[in-house]
Amino acid sequence: MIIIPAIDLNDGKCVRLLQGDFSRVTVYSDDPVTMARTWQEKGAERLHIVDLDGSRSGSPRNRDVIRSVVGALEIPVQVGGGIRNIETVDAYLRMGVAWVILGTAALKDGEFVKEACAAHGGSIILGIDGKDGEIMVEGWTEGTGRSVIDIAKRYEGLGIHAVVYTDIRRDGMETGVNIDATKKMAESIDIPVIASGGVATLKDIEDLLKVERSGIMGVITGKALYTGALKLEDAIRTAGQSSRSE
């Protein structure tokens, strides 16, 4: 299981939101490139970036910052937020982004998702954001009445690299990962799952490792790293020790 540090971009700055609420934002750095390099130096194998402004507007708003981050790193980067058409997918991949994350688009334009998968195969990640099992879209501002598992199963067999499953109620709250919901998602689909939302301490990493074989390939962590509640080196070491013990 890989440990993936997160950088959320708002007005070009590295921030964290509480439960996706833009009125509850904390700025952690004015220099996302330096922050990204820090995570790489500490041993990260990949980086997760979300263009929060893009999520709300429906099109990229921090493209130049993301280009700078990608150009500064040796590790691969996955990017989400405001990716709603194939032109944006193409542009990010040409920029050097390894994987693009399709979220709102997966529910509102299934044909686009299929087109992106057909064109770019394993470079597509499906971002599924849920609250109490319901899909949320448009930067987590709209409920849909649709099940998180139902939407994930719709895209099985298309060569999707992974599903990033975020529990909105826990995101940025450091209240612990929703292990049961994440395990259920992983067991319900044949696409690898990346857990997201709620990582608080090393215990969350240990708890996820216990159910890793259900199909969990990684975990994204943000606020806990920025507050110091979790040290990236410790998380990576713990995940590595688990792999070697199998």
Residue from 129, 167, 171, 204 carrying the catalytic annotation: 129
- State how beta strands 13-18 and 21-29 pair: antiparallel
Residue from 8, 51, 171, 204 carrying the catalytic annotation: 8
Kindly report the backbone phi and psi dihedral angles of residue 204, in degrees, each rounded to the nearest multiple of 5, phi listed first.
Answer: -65, -40
**Is 150 an annotated catalytic residue?**
no
Instruction: For residue range 103-154, list pLDDT tens digits in order.
Output: 877 777 889 999 999 999 899 999 988 776 667 655 444 555 678 898 899 9
Q: Is the dihedral of CA 236, 237, 240, 241 positive or negative?
A: negative
Burial (Cβ within 10 Å: 0-12, 13-18, ≥19) of residue 108:
middle
* Residue whose structure tokens are 């439960």: 19
CA 168-7-178 angle, to 5 degrees, is 30
CB 140 within 8 A of CB 127: no
Q: What is the CATH number of the domain that holds 77?
A: 3.20.20.70
> Which pLDDT tens digits describe the chain residue by residue (246 residues)?
999 999 999 999 998 776 556 666 788 889 999 999 999 999 999 999 999 999 889 899 999 999 999 999 999 999 999 999 999 999 999 999 999 999 877 777 889 999 999 999 899 999 988 776 667 655 444 555 678 898 899 999 999 999 999 877 654 445 688 899 899 999 999 999 999 988 999 999 999 999 999 999 999 999 899 999 999 999 999 999 765 555
Instruction: List the domain range (segments joined by +) for residue 159.
Output: 2-245
**Is 129 an annotated catalytic residue?**
yes
Total domains in the chain come to 1
pTM attached to this predicted model: 0.91
**3-state SS track over the chain:** CEEEEEEEEECCEEEEEECCEEEEEEEEECCHHHHHHHHHHCCCCCEEEEEHHHHHHCCCCCHHHHHHHHHHCCCCEEEECCCCCHHHHHHHHHHCCCEEEECHHHHHCHHHHHHHHHHHHHHEEEEEEEECCEEEECCCCEEEEEEHHHHHHHCCCCCCCEEEEEECCCCCCCCCCCHHHHHHHHHHCCCCEEEECCCCCHHHHHHHHHCHHHCEEEEEECHHHHHCCCCHHHHHHHHHHHHHHC
